[in-house]
Amino acid sequence: DVKVTQSSRYLVKRTGEKVFLECVQDMDHENMFWYRQDPGLGLRLIYFSYDVKMKEKGDIPEGYSVSREKKERFSLILESASTNQTSMYLCASSRHRTGELFFGEGSRLTVL
The residue ranges that bind other proteins (CB under 8 A) are 4, 9, 31, 33, 35, 40-45, 48, 50, 56, 90, 92, 94, 97-106
Nearer to other proteins, 39 or 69 (CB): 39
Please check whether residue 34 is in contact with residue 43, taking contact to mean a CB–CB distance below 8 angstroms.
Answer: no
Q: How far is the CB of 79 from other proteins (least distance, A)?
A: 24
Integer Cα distance of 17 and 63 in angstroms: 12
Q: How far is the CB of 16 from other proteins (least distance, A)?
A: 28
Nearer to other proteins, 1 or 14 (CB): 1
User: Which residues are paired to 110 by β-bridges?
Assistant: 12
Amino acid found at 99 = G
Nearer to other proteins, 17 or 61 (CB): 61
Please check whether residue 55 is in contact with residue 45, taking contact to mean a CB–CB distance below 8 angstroms.
Answer: no
Q: CB burial class (10 A; 0-12, 13-18, 19+) of residue 103?
A: middle
Nearer to other proteins, 78 or 90 (CB): 90
Q: How far is the CB of 58 from other proteins (least distance, A)?
A: 9
